[in-house]
């Protein structure tokens, strides 16, 4: 396999980066306080943990609304359209090629940040797991108003089950997600990109179907 | 191209600003409440209660010591009562209709008479045997153990003297010509007159004379009522503390026609959770009467609990905080003798933990309550009800469930007993304890049970054994200062939750789905393991590649 030339590319806008790290902090605090409320370990004290969890949870809900606005107004939503094209190659790469030092079969581009595997995972996350977690959390928070909202047929057992299951799923995602940041051409390349916006990527052609839009990176 | 660049340059800072604004907004309540506590402003519930109980100075237009009727040479209790009734003409008639006099709460459709004067049973001295167990009558508001005439001064006398003894002594010395004995007679006469003239609205020691000593001694029965409440400090009782609100019992236990509000043992439950500001005479007193149903600060999670958790559950962390209370009483151990004589032993508190005439008893201090759903009614087993001796008999037990809108999780003292029952008729038995035929004199169960049940008018087969029983007392006094309330994690915790025994609902921190948790953690560990193996493999294989 021939060594490809590296080019530096502006991948993530300021808002995108801000959103990513804000969400990281929010989810980190939510996991910590959430598992404390769940009774897994003592940390802030039950009542403090509940207060923090509620405040941060509601913050996340509002912040997520801004993210949705951004995703749809900028056309970034196209980055999340799932595809099976090259899926096999990506799976093969991560389970085999990566150990042989092969190049990534789907190099990142501004207009195609996500490889097919990422598209699938991030879509499930943004369109399913996180909304479910936020909705169940919001209902949990509003427990005392269930009667007024006309949803007192719901039971806290069910809701707690969903919310806890969601927390485990998010925790599992984070483990893999954090690990995957080390799979760039250097161990910190991906993390650096999410901080500065710029990433060193191997030169290559992006196929037309991969492109999210025609927007140019903001300087 | 240029335009869109400026556009996105503006969008980003704007979004950032908005997000920041939003964060500040959401964090604001927490920040404000922190400063609130520093300036010690009051929770709305305290302000409400302060308004409801704003010092209402009750004035008195009669100085009883100046009344001619009370300056007579009284020779008997009934004469004193007669003097009271010359002015308070309706008082005795009113009082005769109250439970304080009849010791009967109500009769149900099956003819069971509830109340200690009726068919009710407890697991202390078991039964008053329809007022024939004279030992019980020390607390009956008559003169001595007689039940004919009301002794108004039991509740309205500020000075407590031994009336029977005083009248007997006066009788003995009054006719004497001996100047010494005459002097003694004058002194007794003076004491009696002074006691008769010291008329008050009921004070703590009046109510406490019986209610602090229910069961025949200090703190035996209730756990949240004992002589430590005669002069409590604020730490023991925020309402009654003499260094705080200094409430008399009657501040909450209001009265209509000598009927005292606040009885919680029998039906019906308090359905009107209304404010004392609207109506100072609710028949059952609840904390909400003064404090409202959302007493905590508006951002407090505690307000969300008041629909299911009684105030007492958090605000009375422990009962019997000064004096010990009796927690169990095993009658089956009674009757043991040393050298043919009855004996008794004392425990660490100086309380009798064994008495030949009573059996084995256990006392405790600083007791954590047990919690049950409670709608304000308590079911009870009378001497007429069939029992299942194979199980612990709940002689009295709170009614209510999670689905009952009027029920709250409420704290109780549970007194555990072991007491006689009829093996053939399967009913609890009411032994005669005091008097010449009583067990305390004879140590003969068969005789005491025969006489006792005869007094109750309920058949006794002659065959008896002992059965384990429980009896409950709602814990509602000894409200602790707010610093000492039960912390969230005393209930919301996996291990030793105060509410561990309450099932049928999910409680954060206490409950979990073990399968989900196990599966979840296995999944988390699996992912960790997976990335670890992947990472290590990369480290090894990448090294090999560079060597190529």
Instruction: Give the Cα separation of A199 and B367 in Å (integer).
Output: 65
In this prediction the ipTM stands at 0.88
Q: Are B288 and B282 in contact (CB under 8 A)?
A: no
Residues 6 or more apart in contact with residue B57 via CB below 8 angstroms = none
Whether A216 maps to a domain, the answer reads no
Residue written as token pair 């109510």: B207
Tell me what pLDDT residue A84 has: 82
Asked if A129 has any chain B CB less than 8 Å from its own CB, the reply is no
Whether A178 maps to a domain, the answer reads yes
Confidence of residue A3 (pLDDT cuts 50, 70, 90): low
How many domains, in total, are found in chain A? 1
Size of interface A-B (CB pairs under 8 A): 125
Per-residue CA distances from B488 to A45, A54, A78, B485 (Å): 9, 16, 47, 9
**Nearest CA to CA, how far is B244 from chain A (Å)?**
29
Tell me what pLDDT residue B56 has: 61
Which residues of chain B does A100 touch, with a Cβ-Cβ cutoff of 8 Å? 541, 545
Residue written as token pair 């090999």: B544
Asked if B538 has any chain A CB less than 8 Å from its own CB, the reply is yes
Tell me what pLDDT residue B16 has: 55
Nearest to A37 among B509, B524, B531 (CB): B509
Q: Are B246 and B155 in contact (CB under 8 A)?
A: no
- Give the mutation candidate from A19, A34, A39 for the B interface (greatest B CB count, under 10 A): A39
Tell me what pLDDT residue B363 has: 98
- Whether the upstream peptide bond of residue B236 has omega within 30° of 0, thus cis, is no
Nearest to B492 among A13, A46, A101 (CB): A46
Please report the residues numbered 484 through 513 in chain B whose beta carbons come closer than 8 angstroms to any beta carbon of chain A. 487-489, 492-494, 505-506, 508-513
Write the secondary structure of chain A as one string of H (helix), E (strand) and C (coil): CCCCCEEEEECCCHHHHHHHHHHHHHHHHHHHHHHHHCCCCCCCCHHHHHHHHHHHHHHHHHHHHHHHHHHHHHCHHHHHCCCCCCHHHHHHHHHCHHHHCCCCCCCCECCECCCHHHHHHHHHHHHHHHHHHHHHHHHHHCHHHHHHHCCCCCCHHHHHHHHHHHHHHHHHHHHHHHHHHHHCCCCCHHHHHHHHCEEEEECCCCCHHHCCCCCCCCC
Cα angle A172-A173-A179, degrees, rounded to a multiple of 5: 95
Whether A76 maps to a domain, the answer reads yes
- How crowded is residue B257: how many other Cβ atoms within 10 Å of its Cβ? 11
Tell me what pLDDT residue B20 has: 59
Instruction: Give the Cα separation of B406 and B495 in Å (integer).
Output: 29
Tell me what pLDDT residue A85 has: 84
Interchain CB distance below 8 Å, A99 and B523: no
Residues 6 or more apart in contact with residue B139 via CB below 8 angstroms = B209, B210, B213, B214
Task: Please report, for the domain that includes residue A84, its CATH number.
Answer: 1.20.950.20
Whether A214 maps to a domain, the answer reads no
Instruction: Give the Cα separation of B360 and B352 in Å (integer).
Output: 9
Its pTM stands at 0.86
Interchain CB distance below 8 Å, B531 and A13: no
Cα-flanking dihedrals φ and ψ of residue B265, to 5°?
A: -80, -35
- Strands B113-114 and B370-374: what pairing? unpaired
- How crowded is residue B40: how many other Cβ atoms within 10 Å of its Cβ? 6
Question: What is the mean pLDDT of the segment spanning A33-51?
Answer: 94
Per-residue CA distances from B206 to B137, B225, B229 (Å): 16, 13, 12
pLDDT in tens, A121-173: 999 999 999 999 999 999 999 999 999 999 999 999 999 999 999 999 999 99
Which residues of chain B does A171 touch, with a Cβ-Cβ cutoff of 8 Å? 520, 524
Tell me what pLDDT residue B176 has: 85
What chain A residue is nearest to B19 in terms of C-alpha separation? A63
Whether A49 maps to a domain, the answer reads yes
Whether A20 maps to a domain, the answer reads yes
Interchain CB distance below 8 Å, A98 and B489: no
Asked if B517 has any chain A CB less than 8 Å from its own CB, the reply is yes
Question: Tens-of-pLDDT digits for all 548 residues of chain B?
Answer: 344 444 445 555 555 555 555 555 454 444 444 444 444 578 888 887 777 676 666 778 899 999 999 999 999 999 999 999 999 999 999 999 999 999 988 888 888 998 889 999 999 999 999 988 888 888 889 998 888 899 999 999 999 889 999 999 999 898 888 888 889 999 999 999 999 999 999 999 999 999 999 998 999 999 999 999 999 999 999 999 999 889 999 888 888 889 888 776 555 444 554 444 444 444 556 788 788 888 899 888 899 998 899 999 999 999 999 999 999 999 999 999 999 999 999 999 999 999 999 999 999 999 999 999 998 888 999 999 999 999 999 999 999 999 988 889 999 999 999 999 999 999 999 999 999 999 999 999 999 999 999 999 999 999 999 999 999 999 999 999 999 999 999 999 999 999 999 999 999 999 999 999 999 999 999 999 999 999 999 888 864 544 33
Q: Is pLDDT larger for residue B322 or for residue A5?
A: B322
Asked if B304 has any chain A CB less than 8 Å from its own CB, the reply is yes
Instruction: Give the Cα separation of B1 and B21 in Å (integer).
Output: 31
Q: Are B316 and B479 in contact (CB under 8 A)?
A: yes
Interchain CB distance below 8 Å, A50 and B301: yes
Cα-flanking dihedrals φ and ψ of residue A10, to 5°?
A: -85, 110
Domain that holds residue A107: 6-205
Whether A213 maps to a domain, the answer reads no
Instruction: Give the Cα separation of B250 and B236 in Å (integer).
Output: 18
What chain B residue is nearest to A1 in terms of C-alpha separation? B545
Q: Are B249 and B259 in contact (CB under 8 A)?
A: no
- With H, G, I as helix, E, B as strand and everything else as coil, classify residue B418: strand
Q: Are A213 and A78 in contact (CB under 8 A)?
A: yes
Residues 6 or more apart in contact with residue A52 via CB below 8 angstroms = A29, A33, A44
Whether A97 maps to a domain, the answer reads yes
CB environment B294-328: b (16+ within 10 A), e (fewer): bbbbeebebbebbeebbbbbbbbbbbbbbbbbbbb
Question: What is the mean pLDDT of the segment spanning A45-69?
Answer: 95
Residues 6 or more apart in contact with residue A93 via CB below 8 angstroms = A102, A104, A105
């Amino acid at each position: 396999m021939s060594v490809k030339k590296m080019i530096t590319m502006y991948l993530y806008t300021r808002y995108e980066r801000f959103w990513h790290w804000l969400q990281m902090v929010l989810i980190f605090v939510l996991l910590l306080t959430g598992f404390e409320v769940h009774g897994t370990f003592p940390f802030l004290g039950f009542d403090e943990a509940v207060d923090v969890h509620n405040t941060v949870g509601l913050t996340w809900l509002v912040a997520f609304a801004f993210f949705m606005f951004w995703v749809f107004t900028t056309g970034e939503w196209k980055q999340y359209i799932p595809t099976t094209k090259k899926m096999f190659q990506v799976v093969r790469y991560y389970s085999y090629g990566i150990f042989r030092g092969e190049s990534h079969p789907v190099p990142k581009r501004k207009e195609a940040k996500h490889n097919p595997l990422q598209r699938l995972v991030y879509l499930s996350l943004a369109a399913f797991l996180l909304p479910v977690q936020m909705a169940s959390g919001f209902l949990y928070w509003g427990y005392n108003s269930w009667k007024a909202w006309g949803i007192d047929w719901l039971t806290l057992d069910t809701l707690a089950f969903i919310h806890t299951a969601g927390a485990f799923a998010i925790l599992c995602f984070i483990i893999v997600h954090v690990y995957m940041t080390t799979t760039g051409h250097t161990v910190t390349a991906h993390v650096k990109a999410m901080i500065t916006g710029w990433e060193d990527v191997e030169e290559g052609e992006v196929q037309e179907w991969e492109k999210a839009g025609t927007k140019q990176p903001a300087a | 191209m240029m335009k869109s660049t400026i556009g996105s340059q503006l969008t980003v800072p704007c979004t950032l600003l908005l997000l920041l604004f939003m964060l500040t907004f959401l964090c604001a309540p927490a920040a404000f409440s922190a400063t609130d506590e520093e300036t010690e402003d009051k929770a709305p519930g305290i302000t409400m209660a302060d308004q409801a109980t704003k010092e209402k100075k009750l004035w008195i237009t009669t100085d009883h010591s100046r009344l001619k009727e009370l300056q007579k040479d009284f020779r008997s209790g009934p004469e004193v009562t007669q003097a009271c009734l010359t002015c308070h003409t309706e008082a005795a008639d009113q009082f005769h209709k109250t439970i304080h006099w009849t010791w009967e709460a109500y009769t149900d459709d099956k003819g069971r008479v509830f109340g200690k004067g009726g068919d009710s049973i407890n697991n202390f001295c078991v039964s008053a045997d329809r007022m024939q167990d004279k030992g019980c009558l020390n607390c009956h508001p008559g003169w001595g153990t007689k039940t004919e005439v009301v002794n108004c001064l039991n509740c309205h006398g500020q000075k407590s003297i031994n009336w029977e003894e005083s009248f007997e002594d006066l009788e003995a010395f009054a006719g004497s010509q001996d100047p010494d004995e005459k002097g003694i007679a004058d002194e007794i006469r003076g004491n009696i007159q002074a006691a008769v003239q010291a008329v008050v609205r009921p004070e703590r020691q009046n109510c406490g004379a019986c209610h602090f000593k229910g069961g025949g001694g200090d703190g035996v029965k209730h756990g949240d009522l004992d002589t430590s409440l005669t002069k409590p400090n604020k730490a023991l009782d925020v309402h009654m503390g003499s260094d705080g609100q200094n409430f008399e019992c009657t501040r909450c236990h209001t009265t209509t026609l000598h009927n005292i509000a606040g009885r919680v043992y029998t039906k019906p439950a308090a359905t009107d959770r209304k404010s004392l500001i609207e109506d100072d005479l609710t028949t059952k007193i609840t904390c909400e009467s003064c404090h409202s149903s959302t007493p905590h600060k508006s951002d407090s999670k505690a307000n969300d609990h008041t629909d299911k958790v009684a105030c007492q559950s958090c605000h009375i962390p422990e009962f019997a905080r000064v004096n010990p209370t009796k927690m169990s009483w095993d009658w089956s151990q009674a009757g043991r003798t040393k050298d043919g004589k009855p004996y008794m032993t004392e425990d660490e508190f100086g309380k009798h933990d064994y008495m030949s005439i009573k059996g084995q008893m256990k006392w405790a201090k600083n007791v954590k309550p047990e919690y049950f759903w409670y709608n304000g009614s308590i079911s009870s087993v009378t001497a007429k009800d069939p029992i299942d001796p194979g199980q612990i008999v709940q002689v009295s037990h709170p009614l209510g469930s999670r689905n009952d809108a009027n029920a709250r999780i409420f704290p109780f003292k549970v007194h555990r007993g072991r007491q006689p029952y009829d093996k053939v008729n399967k009913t609890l038995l009411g032994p005669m304890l005091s008097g010449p035929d009583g067990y305390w004199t004879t140590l003969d169960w068969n005789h005491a049970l025969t006489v006792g049940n005869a007094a109750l008018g309920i058949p006794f087969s002659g065959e008896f054994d002992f059965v384990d029983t429980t009896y409950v007392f709602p814990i509602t006094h000894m409200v602790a200062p707010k610093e000492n309330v039960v912390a969230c994690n005393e209930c919301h915790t996996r291990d030793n939750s105060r509410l561990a025994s309450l099932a049928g609902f999910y409680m954060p921190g206490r409950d979990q789905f073990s399968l989900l948790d196990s599966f979840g953690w296995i999944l988390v560990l699996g992912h960790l393991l997976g990335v670890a193996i992947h990472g290590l493999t990369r480290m090894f294989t990448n090294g090999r590649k560079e060597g190529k």
